[in-house]
Every structure is written in C-alpha cells, then in structure tokens.
Amino acid sequence: MIEVLDFYADWCGPCQMMKPVFAELEKDFAGKVKFTVIDVDQHPDQSNAHHVLGIPTYIIMKDGKEVDRIVGYTPKPAFQAKLNAHL
C-alpha cells in the first residue's frame, strides 16, 4: 500500500495553501493511498527521523520504504502524477 506522510505546521503559509489540494487528493485516492498528517512542531522526532528540512514535505512510502518526496507547494496534477507513478 502507498502512504503519504504530510509534514506541516499551522504557521506555514505554503502548508495552508496545500490543505485543499491534500483534501482533494485524499478523496481521489481513497482506498488506494493512506494519508498521514504530521505536525512538525508536535512531532519533531518524526521530522528528524525522516530528515525533513523544509515544509511542507510529502514523503511517499511504498511497503514501508520511501519511494519519492515532494517539498513545497505542488499543484494537484503534479502531485497526482507522482502518486500514480507508484500505484
């Protein structure tokens, strides 16, 4: 199964811009992709473990291993293409 780890913070402008895109992607890929949201301020250990240096960062995991990473605001079509490449 594919999982997307969404590393964000409430104070991050690009993170807020991605919220509606992320919500649409969750609907579009329901049953195919698991989406997990991680607040970097509340979970710095997870951010460090995944070497997250900037936010928003989206890590695409397949079978528990990182297969792709997206950093920064990304339009929905580009994000969809990345996910489709790993399905």
Catalytic positions are 12, 15
* Backbone phi, psi, residue 2, to 5°: -90, 140
Q: Is the peptide bond prior to 56 cis by the omega test (within 30 degrees of 0)?
A: yes
Q: Quick check: helix, strand or coil at residue 65?
A: strand
Write the DSSP assignment of 16-42 as a string of letters: HHHHHHHHHHHHHTTTTEEEEEEETTT
